[in-house]
Amino acid sequence: MTVLELLQNAGRSGFGWLDRALRAAFGSRLNPLHQLGALTIFFFWIVLVSGIWLFIFFHTSVEGAYESVEYLTHEQWYVGGVMRSLHRYASDAAIVTLVLHIIREWFFDHHRGKRWFSWITGIPLLWIIIPLGITGYWLVWDKLAQYVALTSAELLDWLPIFTDSMARNFLSDEALSDRFFTLMAFLHLIGLPLFLVFAIWLHVFRISEPRINPPRNLMIGTLLALLILSLVYPALSQEKADLALAPQNVSLDWYYLLV
pLDDT tens digit sequence for 20-54: 999 999 888 899 999 999 999 999 999 999 999 99
Say if residues 146 and 170 touch (Cβ distance below 8 Å): yes
CB atoms within 10 A of CB 211: 15
Q: Which of 105, 99, 151 has its CA nearest to residue 129?
A: 99
pLDDT band at 98 (very low <50, low <70, confident <90, very high): very high
Return the pLDDT at 226: 97
Mean pLDDT of 194-220: 86
pTM: 0.90
**If you average pLDDT over every residue of the chain, what do you get?**
88
How sure is the predictor about 216, in pLDDT bands with cuts at 50, 70 and 90? very high
* Residue among 47, 44, 22 at smallest CA distance from 32: 22
Residue of higher predicted confidence among 253 and 173: 253
Q: Which positions ≥6 away from 210 have C-beta within 8 Å? A: 37, 204
CB 200 within 8 A of CB 211: no
Q: What band does 58 get if pLDDT is binned at 50, 70 and 90? A: very high
- Per-residue model confidence (pLDDT) at position 156: 81
Task: Determine the pLDDT at residue 252.
Answer: 85
User: Can you list the domains of the chain with their CATH numbers?
Assistant: 35-257 (1.20.810.10)
Three-class SS state of 205: coil
Q: Where are the beta strands (DSSP E) in the chain?
A: none
* Residue-level pLDDT at 125: 84
Question: 185, 58 in Cβ contact below 8 A?
Answer: yes
Length of the chain, in residues: 259
CA distances from 12 to 9, 17, 103, 105 (A): 5, 9, 10, 10
